[in-house]
Amino acid sequence: MQSIHINCDLGEGGKHDASLMPYISACNIACGGHAGDENSMRRTIQLAQKYKVEIGMHPSYPDKENFGRKSLNISKANLETSLLDQIKTFQKIAAEESSAINHLKFHGALYNDLANDQNLAEHIIEMLKNSVENMRVFAPVNSRFSTLLSKDFEVFSEAFLDRNYNENFTLVSRQNEHAVLTENEAIFKHLFSMYKRQKITIISGVEITAKPDTFCLHSDTKSAVEIIRFLHNKLQENSIEIFKNAG
């Protein structure tokens, strides 16, 4: 049986973390920038340990007001200070819970800005080189950020199973009514094509080629629990299992 790696952003104050966790391979846990606090980090780490889910940190712009989904006009120095605080807090709690940190994934607008701004990407990569070791980093598939990271880090190219794409591999803006996929069958078709054929059907209907290592479902997507359960069953029907850490 083949396996597929599915990740989810958790610890963000949603109500369904415990329902999603059994069906995913990895979780990206909010570090207090866009959502979460030390208590939510600890609870989510413990939940991930229970279900043998890989644990990752999910730092962001310091912007709870906009859930980290708007680019901030912030100096690189201030951004670095905030990100290091988020990372160090998460590292401390993970150590207290005797939990290994598998990966790091930036959140929201910062995730997108790093893919589009080489100067910002290079600055943040230098910060990571001095703050995390042997860390896998999730980065947008076919992005410049992914290429830059690969010189110093193990990179998992990521695609979103609940989002539509543009021709240049960027996500369709959430301001567009068709940005987010919510229908079970459409999401499975989107995911299956990316996984089996390495093809993304973009919003215009054209196919582009990509080879993601991991696929993300947003925990705040409408009916996320129903979606992941549906995907689990459909994948099994096609002899594909959702990867779970055996450790």
How confident is the model over 14-73, as pLDDT tens digits?
A: 999 999 999 999 999 999 999 999 999 999 999 999 999 999 999 999 999 999 999 999
Mean pLDDT of the chain: 96
**pLDDT on residue 187:** 97
**pLDDT on residue 247:** 55
**pLDDT on residue 134:** 83
Using an 8 Å Cβ cutoff, are 22 and 45 in contact?
Answer: no
Using an 8 Å Cβ cutoff, are 239 and 32 in contact?
Answer: no
Lowest-confidence range among 90-94, 188-192, 222-226? 222-226
pLDDT at 245 over 90: no
**pLDDT digit string, tens, across residues 4-30:** 999 999 999 999 999 999 999 999 999
How many Cβ atoms from other residues are within 10 Å of residue 180's Cβ?
A: 18
Nearest CA among 55, 16, 57 for reference residue 34: 57
Check if CATH label 3.20.20.370 holds for domain 2-242: yes
Residue type, 136: R
- The whole-angstrom separation of Cα 184 and Cα 222 is 11
In percent, the amount of the chain with pLDDT more than 70 equals 99
Token digits for 42? 């600890």
Token digits for 126? 């230098």
**pLDDT on residue 133:** 80
**pLDDT digit string, tens, across residues 91-150:** 999 999 999 999 999 999 999 999 999 999 999 999 999 999 889 999 999 999 999 999
Residue 65 has φ and ψ, to the nearest 5°, of -60, -40
Question: Which residues make Cβ contacts (< 8 Å) with residue 7, sequence separation at least 6?
Answer: 24, 25, 26, 27, 28, 54, 56, 105, 138, 158, 214, 215, 216, 217
The full set of domain ranges for the chain reads: 2-242
Using an 8 Å Cβ cutoff, are 16 and 218 in contact?
Answer: no
Q: Look-up: residue for tokens 């959702």?
A: 242
Q: Look-up: residue for tokens 């943040």?
A: 124
**pLDDT on residue 197:** 97
Residue 246 pLDDT level (bands cut at 50, 70, 90): low
**pLDDT on residue 167:** 96
**pLDDT on residue 222:** 84
Residue 113 vs residues 28, 44, 92, 103, 145: alpha-carbon distances, Å = 18, 27, 27, 19, 9
Token digits for 190? 């989107």
